[in-house]
A and B are shown apart, each in its own frame.
Chain A
Amino acid sequence: MKKLIIALAASAALLGGFSTGAQAQEKKKVCFIYVGSKTDGGWTQAHDIGRQELQKTLGDKIETPYLENVPEGPDAERAIERMARSGCAMIFTTSFGFMDATVKVAAKFPDVKFEHATGFKAAPNLATYNSRFYEGRYIQGQIAAKMSKKGLAGYIASFPIPEVVMGINAFELGAKSINPNFKLKVVWANTWFDPGKEADAAKALIDQGVDILTQHTDTTAPMQVAAERGIPAFGQASDMIAAGPKTQLTAIVDTWGAYYIKRTQALLDGTWKSEQIWDGLKDGILTMAPYTNMPDDVKAMAEETEAKIKSGELHPFTGPINKQDGSPWLKAGEKPEDGVLLGMNFYVEGVDDKLPQ
């Protein structure tokens, strides 16, 4: 009985659509699944801002339902499947931990398009996308080397995964391009999201003598601590200038919106293809927050580096680069393959920490 009513309603809607001819199709659903809260001030919020941009730009053709705070594991698989069954035409799964769940559901629903952020498993209806965050970290490293009097920066890291290690290395390489003796202290907070612990880590680093701070965790707590202690710092995932108006030098801002619009347009045009996309500064998938609280010459240098990275003239990982123990990794002028970067599990020379293995 219920099914009958739904069927009747659906056909009525269809008939209505055809008869007026104005809206030949009902709105397509483009769905998003988040690992955190959409107001976490970091990773998930950046994705949600992207979704809102998408909704604003293509809102007359699509709807954008979402699920937040979905735990990684079997819950994710169920949530994604529910989306696929509820008529989503395309589903963005925005956390690495959703990878296997996305792969499994994608195999069951060949007509639905899937896009998984930061993963490495693909299928004909499953694309992956990622952002070259390390490009921004390199610029941060250069600024840090110019701004730090001691040549010693503190890095609050979340978990030892390649993306984070890559960021630490890029920061150190950027810094060393200005000051070859630059050192970096790393503290692993073992969390993406715990303001108290992040603040404690920031204080510990400052107490150990670093005079500039950067973070790869998601809340603004470290920025607040830096502001209080009066040392400069870099923001992460979103522009954190509000937490440190006199503190933030710049921030890596994840700007997924352009990408979401591009892919949704492709879906609407029927030109969507499964691709493994790893975009960078030049594609606008990440942007640098305004360069603030620094002398003009430092700002000019940062802008120049940013322009060089965008034009492809500069690749942050260009040899000669030694590994932490001094053994050579890249020869002069050599650049690593993307696969090597994506699986990075070693430090470059100058990082004052032992990488958890």
Chain B
Amino acid sequence: MFEAILLTVITASTPLVIAALGELVTERAGVLNLGVEGMMIMGAVCAFATAQLTGSPYLGILGGILGGGLFSLLFGFLTLTLVANQVATGLALTILGLGLSGQIGESFVGQSGIKLQPIAIPFLSQLPLVGRVLFAQDLTFYLSIALVIGISWFLFKSRAGLKVRAIGDNHGSAHALGIHVIRTRYLAVLFGGACAGLAGAQLSLVYTPQWVENMSAGRGWIALALVVFASWRPWRVLAGGYLFGAVTIGQLHAQAFGLGVPSQLLSALPYAATIVVLIIISHNRRTTLINTPASLGKPFVPER
């Protein structure tokens, strides 16, 4: 039973982790994109449509990444090229995404989707206790772990990552040093959109292989919260995502167990837990300030 619960938690947490990791990179470059929910749902519908039309869930994953990525460029054009307000544009992106995905997905409603099958890694998946949980998963889970490792390395160990962080901390100085602020930010936004799209693909191909309108059901917002919660550190995103997933699944088990606590109270637990952990983390003012991208949400126009 323990193993089964763990598997459920992983499925519930993976989309949150992936979308949050993408947004983390976007925000590290100093751009606040509140449109995660919209990009996620676009990823979900594009992934589902591609998988249904081609019969391949892997092409579906690719479709989701492309869908989310292309959609994010719309945000990029408005906020980076035209320096429109990021908060408002992000919210508008969500409205547009929810409408557009419903329109695209209309003919796919009610179809049974193709589930992305797990890939068991030989030998490792035979390990006692953790084998089946960690090494017999589907591609999206492996990708989420690879993303955590990759992004940690990229941001803190690579030259390019250093540039991204420099832009996020002070775009004026970064520009003066000859770093391409706008171009880098475009790439960061694109990466965030692609990750949100991948997270959406996980929803419509792994979590619940089907398409219904609004199926992201607010998970994009949770992903946004996770980024701040993790104080812009990739490993903490992973931890936070799993904590949130565990509390969500835990409350369902508490109900099935018959604890007799109001279900609304249990449903509120993940949100309350997020606030509490956040207070603990941000209590130390200095560590928070070190990690927060100082230029977050501020527009940049190169002076000439």
Interface-located stretch among B135-143, B145-153, B201-209, B235-243: B201-209
For residues 214 through 260 of chain B, which have their beta carbon under 8 Å from a beta carbon of chain A?
Answer: 214-215, 217, 219, 248-249, 252-253, 255-260
Give bound CA distance, A190 to B212, whole Å.
18
Structural contact, B252 and A204, CB atoms closer than 8 A:
yes
Give bound CA distance, A190 to B270, whole Å.
14
Q: Report the minimal beta-carbon distance from A111 to chain B, rounded to whole angstroms.
A: 35
Q: Which of A186, A191, A195, A208 has the most CB of B within 10 A?
A: A195
**Residues of A close to B248: CB separation below 8 A:** 200
| Minimal Cβ-Cβ distance residue in B for A225 | B208
Structural contact, A208 and B106, CB atoms closer than 8 A:
no
For residues 154 through 206 of chain A, which have their beta carbon under 8 Å from a beta carbon of chain B?
Answer: 154, 185-188, 190-191, 193-201, 203-206
CB of B1 within 8 A of chain A? yes
Structural contact, B109 and A39, CB atoms closer than 8 A:
yes
- The A/B interface has a contact count, at CB < 8 Å, of 103
Q: A37-B102, A195-B212 are in contact. Are A205 and B12 (CB under 8 A)?
A: no
Give bound CA distance, A220 to B208, whole Å.
9
CB of A352 within 8 A of chain B? yes
Structural contact, A221 and B256, CB atoms closer than 8 A:
no
| Minimal Cβ-Cβ distance residue in B for A207 | B4
CB of A128 within 8 A of chain B? no
Q: A41-B110, A188-B263, A208-B253 are in contact. Are A224 and B258 (CB under 8 A)?
A: no
Q: A185-B256, A187-B256, A190-B264 are in contact. Are A207 and B213 (CB under 8 A)?
A: no
**Residues of B close to A198: CB separation below 8 A:** 208
| Minimal Cβ-Cβ distance residue in A for B207 | A196
Give bound CA distance, A356 to B255, whole Å.
11
Give bound CA distance, A209 to B110, whole Å.
29
Structural contact, A199 and B258, CB atoms closer than 8 A:
no
Name the contact of B210 in the complex, choosing from A203, A208, A221 (C-beta under 8 A): A221
Structural contact, A199 and B110, CB atoms closer than 8 A:
no
CB of B170 within 8 A of chain A? no
Give bound CA distance, A191 to B215, whole Å.
12
Give bound CA distance, A195 to B112, whole Å.
13
Interface size class of chain A, counting residues whose CB lies under 8 Å from the partner chain = 35 or more
**Residues of B close to A219: CB separation below 8 A:** 208, 210, 212
Q: A195-B210, A199-B208, A200-B252 are in contact. Are A354 and B258 (CB under 8 A)?
A: yes
Q: Report the minimal beta-carbon distance from A157 to chain B, rounded to whole angstroms.
A: 9
Structural contact, B207 and A199, CB atoms closer than 8 A:
yes
Q: A196-B219, A242-B110, A352-B258 are in contact. Are A201 and B252 (CB under 8 A)?
A: yes
Per-position binary interface string of chain A over residues 14-43, scored 1 when its CB falls under 8 Å from any chain B CB and 0 otherwise: 000000000000000000000001011100
| Minimal Cβ-Cβ distance residue in B for A352 | B258
CB of A353 within 8 A of chain B? yes
Q: Report the minimal beta-carbon distance from A211 to chain B, rounded to whole angstroms.
A: 14
CB of B274 within 8 A of chain A? no
Give bound CA distance, A196 to B44, whole Å.
13
Name the contact of A39 in the complex, choosing from B110, B115, B208, B253 (C-beta under 8 A): B110
Structural contact, B213 and A204, CB atoms closer than 8 A:
no
Which residues on B are within 8 Å of A, measured CB to CB? 1, 4-5, 8, 12, 102, 106, 109-112, 115, 203, 207-210, 212-215, 217, 219, 248-249, 252-253, 255-260, 262-264, 267
Task: Knowing that A195-B215, A203-B8, A204-B256 touch, tell me 16 more A-B residue pairs with CB under 8 angstroms.
Answer: A39-B106, A39-B109, A41-B109, A41-B110, A187-B252, A187-B256, A188-B263, A190-B264, A194-B215, A195-B212, A200-B249, A204-B252, A204-B253, A207-B5, A208-B253, A209-B1
Smallest CB-CB A-B distances: 10 pairs: A354-B260, A204-B252, A195-B208, A188-B263, A39-B109, A221-B208, A194-B217, A208-B256, A203-B8, A207-B4
